[in-house]
Structure 1
Amino acid sequence: MSEEEKAKEAASANYGASSIQVLEGLEAVRKRPAMYIGDIGIKGLHHLVYEVVDNSIDEAMAGHCNNIQVFINENNSITVIDNGRGIPVDMHEKEGKSALEVVMTVLHAGGKFDKDSYKVSGGLHGVGVSCVNALSTYVRVEVSRNGKLYMQEYSCGIPKAPVQEIGTSTTNGTKTTFLPDDSIFIESIYKYDILAGRLRELAFLNAGITLTLTDKRQLNDDGSFKTEVFHSDEGLKEFVEYIDEAREPLIESVIHISTEKNGIPVEIAMTYNTSYNENIHSYVNNINTIEGGTHLAGFRRGLTRTLKKYAEDSKMLEKLKIEISGDDFREGLTAVISIKVQEPQFEGQTKTKLGNNEVMGSVDMAVGEALGNYLEENPKAARIIVEKVILAATARYAARKAREMVQRKSPLSGGGLPGKLADCADKDPEKCELFLVEGDSAGGTAKQGRSRQFQAILPLRGKILNVEKAMQHKVLESEEIRNIYTALGVTIGTEDDSKALNMKKLRYHKVIIMTDADVDGSHIATLIMTFFFRHMKELIEQGYLYIATPPLYLCKKGKVEEYCWTEAQRQTFIEKYGGGTDSGIHTQRYKGLGEMNEIQLWDTTMNPEHRTLRQVNIENAAEADHVFSMLMGDDVAPRRQFIEQNATYAKIDA
């Protein structure tokens, strides 16, 4: 027996009870953080804030809090202050320590498990704030309660000392400060826009509550910190108006439903616009259910049933020779559905699909009643909606022919693949990458510079169709867009949903948009991203869409050469090699991909060992919906304002 075999046998013999690691308390969270907060990247980092804010929102939903303040501190720690009742600090009988310490250090502890404390709640079912504690190097909680001020500090989930009484207070509330552990998170810089998007969403979902975001890292011209206040008096009605801000309305007002059916509070706001997209955002206890569920199914069923009955009763469908489908009733529809459920059952670990069967009937009933009344009371608006539905049905038949063209295999172009596509040798989608490259010239350079083994190149001619303003059959008639569908190997329509993307034969798990680093290039990249967001959102949700980042400059001083992706990097090169002046330094500004040869393009933008790719993800679907409709719509004013506000802060993520 060899030494190696002896060692294996000894290790096997020693594998007993002592080898099984029992993770005490919050140590489990530190060992497997992604199990508790989703991931350890940008999403998980921001999720920590949401968990603390959700506790304050739960207080607000119970009627005890109306003001929540969030601060991003200079060192990227976060402070959340609310004016709720304050976390209880008295002794917890079973645990033998302060209730505050129990909430902060024990998984599945907290008032959310006591139905008398909270009727409904969001968050991670009681693991939330203790997870934040476990994944932070420093946490300080101050509780104002019953005229006194209490405090406890923690490090990596472990209390530094028992809860202390440190003063008096004339108000009630909780103040939590935490610094995420950068040895766990791969990203430690908080993004203002991501937090602002979530707080704005929470303000719309909880009318009457004021949420404030202050960034102590950014100063205004007058020396004050960058601050935004989010407050909504009309809730979902204002939410729909915000999402549809840049779209042309089809009917004058937003249809707002707020009721309770079978003990389930249901709030819905909906309107129609002249676009051809369906935009429905659904929430359960303030959680965005991106995969929908029984509440969304109930909404769709109630909408289709009620509108179809009205259209038939008013004899508007008599001359229509084609059958109307559920999809037709939702074209140009923007809606937000928010329900509150005492014990929500979510499917899957991500908690993004509601499974409670009783909810479907409640939402269906609520929509049927309110929408039926609206149509009877507003015959002009009702007629406009039904005419839009008939137009959608007619266009759907045209789209079916276009879709068949996309999905028909042509023997003329290599087994159905576009003639322009330079495919890769590998056939394993997990290893393969598709570069969507702006223009034939840059496409040619990319074809020469790529690794033929796993990188495919599809050149796109000029600016692709703006899908924000096009009917589906027009989208599918566009040659460039047909080429993207065919190259990817995806088809449209599944058994459950005629518009859903069928990704069973997806050929690449990295789809990389590669455009020039100038204004035109950015516009083309945005057009392509809009196409994916509106027609291939599943690809983004799976994490398959990326943006390549070619360098802006090549700086030279003598024999020293460095690529610079930002102006700051160029200035660093000048400081290092020019002593602060650009005397003797040659700077080449790359206006387009075509200005680089194939070796330079490979080295800087395509080589996995050196390149920087930005992954496209949807942190907040409603916010993304608003931004894309604004950037790609006809209204110039909000687009200009958005660009002016965001241009200063645009940066490349490594």
Structure 2
Amino acid sequence: MSEEEKKNGSGNYSAQNIQVLEGLEAVRKRPAMYIGDVSEKGLHHLVSEVVDNSIDEALAGYCTEINVTINEDNSITVKDNGRGIPVDYHEKEKKSALEVVLTVLHAGGKFDKGTYKVSGGLHGVGVSCVNALSIYLKAEIHKDGKIYMQEYSKGKPYADVKIVGETKENGTIITFKPDDAIFTTLEYRHDILATRLRELAYLNAGITLTLTDKRTPNDDGSFKIDRYYSETGLEEFVRYIDKNKESLIPEPIHIVTEKSGIPIEIALTYNDTYNENIYSYVNNINTIEGGAHLTGFRRGLSRTLKKYAEDSKMLDKVKVEISGDDFREGITAVLSVKVAEPQFEGQTKTKLGNSEVIGAVDQATGEALRYYLEEHPKEAKVIVEKVILAATARQAARKAREMVQRKSPLSGAGLPGKLADCSSKDPAQSEIFLVEGDSAGGTAKQGRNRIFQAILPLRGKILNVEKAMPHKVLESDEIKNIYTALGVSIGTEEDSKELNIEKLRYHKIILMTDADVDGSHIDTLILTFFFRYMRLLIESGYVYIATPPLYLCKKGKIEEYCYNDQQRQAFINKYADGNENAIHTQRYKGLGEMNAEQLWETTMNPENRTLKQVTIENAADADVIFSMLMGEEVAPRREFIEENATYANIDA
């Protein structure tokens, strides 16, 4: 914010800037409407809403530091050095502006255009929504030399705002504890909060965000503090996402501009993979469904690159037609726009609908890219050569795709010979196990419930798709069998990577491999394939990992399956009576070592089994992880499987 704007009064943040639209009663009755759900996702969303208020202060030019603390009791404290929420008297509501902000839905400075030009969060629902869903909330405001404080429970204040001390600082401190009557889980995950704060640091260069976890003190009693700060913003974000990939150009292309009053920041680079990874944001919100800004970026990129390639005569001898897709193969880009009044559409309200943004981003991309290509002819040549290679590969992929479609049961050619299908034709009731090897596949076929469980044995380790050209992926027999068995199809020539799951035959796709490092490796190879080529199945919640036991522990007639070393030790502690030799432990090296009845009882029976559901909480971070996992190191692969799949007895 300029000094002139501050002088003109937009820097005066007081009660008259707070506009009120409606009351708060509905939030506790229908919390999922406001925060998505009342499980882990919604719990973490509360933190985002409070942090977003602080980010708004930073965007307005008044805040440089935001500190988030997970307290010992899983309450959260968010502190910033902004102007502090106004505490003066609100004429219309006849109470303190602080109380208005914290108790009235859609009350906030972000509706007064002079206070915040753009803002993130749920458009003012934010902190009042957090208050409504907290068993306890304390607001501490440092402003005008005084410390103001007010406490609440379930959205209702204990008392009026009171002055509790003096201060030389400015800022807001919000501490809240989510209500256990609302949320199904109350434990905050360090990694989810860390990922969001890191993302916000990249999206808002120059702001310091910290995360302190007081639940796990160091040996000396201090606490681990994660600090996130980015000097160059999205340029560093792109480097972070692509840190495990081979770059084709030495430096990311970084665009920071404003068109038609819309601030636009873009960073992009090209790597040696065949994946398109574009992450888009509006006012710091991850627009996972894309929208107008993404359309504008793709249009500007394709048009500018195609014109450069034609003008430089690089396409003269190319025998294949270049399409829009070809310009984006091997690209990693992050696109961030700030829109004063964003219109969100789509199934999850994460698709930007403002049509005026298309032209603005198209123009910004075209101008900056044209300048870059002219100034960097060597890098331009590398990019165009990559595009030509992508076009050639696409033609080969089309033929491979046609082969996959021809084999599809939709065209009547039948299912893979190795598939032991289930008798149910209802996808919601049906599940398919992808099993490593014919031996385990045979045991699984004998042990399954034939009514709703199908078995597809896979021969050995499937292709590592991370660096394979698309046609090579589609030519792999095992991958063709997966497409055919699932009943899914691949998009048209114009949209060659879009997955059609309308005819999906199973709503549970379960990876069942050995409970060892090799099994984890195979799981990860298959997950990489799903992430790159069938991400929609993961996002729809259809992909799971089975958890076979590692041990069968016995003492006399007492038998217990143990799924990890801790369970085995617990069995020993319980039954050994000081004599560990009395315990007989059988370690299963593979699924094939179990008989059909044991495999059913431990791993396939919905009444007993534990499935891990595979979820993607943050696509950019998942991209980093998959790129890293496809290296030579086995250990990180196993760690990923164990940390990123949610344990849930989904049949309970």
Instruction: Provide TM-score, normalisation by structure 1.
Output: 0.92
> Deviation at 1:311?
0.5
- The residue aligned with 1:320 is 318
229-238 or 401-410, which deviates more: 401-410
Give the structure 1 partner of residue 124 of structure 2: 126
Quickly say closer, same or farther: Cα 1:644–1:600, change in 2 above 3 A. closer
Distance 1:376 1:91, change over 3 A: same
CA 1:490–1:261 in structure 2 vs 1: closer, same or farther (change >3 Å)? same
Equivalence for 2:564: 566
Give the stretch that moved more between structures: 469-478 or 68-77. 68-77
Is 1:215 the counterpart of 2:213? The answer is: yes
* Aligned residue identity for 2:372: Y
**Matching residue of 1:497:** 495
Corresponding residue for residue 335 of structure 2: 337
Question: Contact conserved, 1:247 with 1:633, CA < 8 A, in 2?
Answer: no
Residue of structure 2 aligned with 1:373, choices 371, 374, 384: 371
Q: What is the match of residue 618 of structure 2?
A: 620
Which residue of the partner structure matches residue 18 of structure 2? none
Structure 2: gaps spanning 5 or more residues? 1-21
Partner of 1:290, secondary structure, is coil
Deviation at 1:580, TM superposition (A): 6.7
Alpha-carbon deviation of 1:415? 4.0
Matches within 5 A, 1:374-453: 374-409=372-407, 415-453=413-451
Tell me which of 31, 34, 45 is aligned to 1:33: 31
Q: SS at the partner of 1:408?
A: helix
SS in structure 1 of the partner of residue 617 of structure 2: coil
Give a deviation string over 1:235-272, Cα, whole Å, max 9, x none: 00000011110100111111000000010011000011
What amino acid sits opposite 1:458 in the alignment?
L
> How many residues are aligned here?
627
**1:653 alignment partner in structure 2:** 647
Greater mean deviation of Cα atoms: 289-298 or 215-224: 215-224
Q: Does 1:547 align with 2:545?
A: yes
Residue deviations 1:32-83, cap 9 Å, x none?
2211111222211211111111111111111111111111222222221111
CA contact 2:613–2:647 (8 Å) conserved in 1: no
CA distance in 2, matches of 1:72, 1:464: 41
- What amino acid sits opposite 1:433 in the alignment? E
- Matched letter for residue 531 of structure 2: F
> Do the aligned residues in 2 keep the contact of 1:494 with 1:501 (CA within 8 Å)?
no
SS of residue in 2 equivalent to 1:551 = coil
Q: What does 1:148-297 correspond to in 2, within 5 Å?
A: 148-220=146-218, 222-297=220-295
Secondary structure of the residue that 2:254 maps to in structure 1?
strand
Q: Tell me, yes or no, if structure 1 residue 363 matches structure 2 residue 357.
A: no
For 2:571 and 2:338, the matched residues in 1 are separated by 56
Q: Which amino acid aligns with 1:464?
A: I
* Counterpart amino acid of residue 228 in structure 1: D
* Displacement after TM superposition at 1:414 (Å): 8.2
Q: Report the Cα distance in structure 1 between the residues aligned to 2:197 and 2:208, rounded to whole angstroms.
A: 9
Cα separation, 1, equivalents of 2:443 and 2:208: 53
In the alignment, what sits opposite 1:8?
none
Tell me, what secondary structure is at the counterpart of 1:161? coil
Specify the SS of the correspondent of 2:387.
helix
RMSD: 2.3
More moved, 564-573 vs 382-391: 564-573
The offset of 1:644, in angstroms, is 10
Q: Secondary structure at the match of 1:249?
A: coil
| Compared CA separation, residues 189 and 568, structure 1 to 2 (3 A) | farther
Q: What residue is the counterpart of 1:20 in the other structure?
A: none
Alpha-carbon displacement from aligned partner over 1:380-416 (angstroms, at most 9, x marks no partner): 11111111111110110000011011110379x9842
Of 467-476 and 413-422, more deviation after overlay is shown by 413-422
Is the 8 Å Cα contact of residues 280 and 288 (structure 2) preserved in structure 1?
Answer: yes
Q: Distance in 1 between matches of 2:221 and 2:109?
A: 41
Report the more deviating stretch, 377-386 or 25-34. 25-34
Conserved 8 A contact 1:85-1:172: yes
Q: Does 1:59 align with 2:53?
A: no
Query: Would the aligned equivalents of 2:432 and 2:509 in 1 still touch at CA under 8 Å?
Result: yes
The equivalent of 1:69 in structure 2 is: 67
What residue identity is the alignment partner of 1:508? Y
Residue 470 of structure 1: aligned partner: 468
Name whichever of 460-469 and 86-95 sits farther off. 86-95
Contact 1:72 1:217 in 2 (8 A): yes
Equivalent position amino acid for 2:226 in 1: E
Structure 2: which amino acid aligns with 1:445?
Answer: T
Q: Deviations over 1:583-609 (max 9, x none)?
A: 522333233222222222222222222
Alignment of 1:69-148 (within 5 A): 69-148=67-146
Instruction: Give the drift of 1:153.
Output: 1.9
Following superposition, the deviation at residue 643 of structure 1 comes to: 6.8
- CA pair 647-443 structure 1, distance change in 2 beyond 3 A: closer
Kindly indicate whether the alpha-carbon contact (under 8 Å) linking 2:421 and 2:455 is maintained by their aligned counterparts in 1: yes
363-372 or 69-78, larger mean C-alpha shift: 69-78
Retained in 2: the 8 A contact 1:575–1:581? no
**Structure 1 183/338 Cα, relative in aligned 2: closer, same or farther at 3 Å?**
same
Q: Find the aligned partners of 2:382 and 2:557 in 1 and give their Cα distance.
A: 70
Deviates more, 1:83-92 or 1:548-557: 548-557
Cα gap change, 1:576 to 1:414, in 2 (>3 Å): farther
Alpha-carbon shift at residue 496 of structure 1 (Å): 6.7
Does the Cα contact within 8 Å between 2:524 and 2:637 map onto a contact in 1?
A: no
Q: Secondary structure at the match of 1:653?
A: strand
Deviation at 1:217, TM superposition (A): 2.2
Counterpart residue identity of residue 556, structure 1: K
- Separation of aligned partners in 2, 1:198 and 1:496: 34
Query: CA separation of 1:358/1:101 partners in 2, compared to 1, >3 Å: closer, same or farther?
Result: same
Q: With structure 2 as the length reference, what TM-score do the two structures score?
A: 0.92
CA distance in 1, matches of 2:85, 2:568: 51
Q: Which amino acid aligns with 2:428?
A: E
Q: In the alignment, is the contact (CA less than 8 A) between 2:398 and 2:493 conserved in 1?
A: no
- Kept in 2, the 8 Å contact 1:469–1:633? The answer is no
CA distance in 1 between counterparts of 2:25 and 2:604 reads 40
Question: How big is the shift at 1:525?
Answer: 0.8
Distance (whole Å) between structure 2 residues aligned to residue 633 and residue 294 of structure 1: 36
Deviates more, 1:138-147 or 1:213-222: 213-222
Separation of aligned partners in 2, 1:543 and 1:650: 14
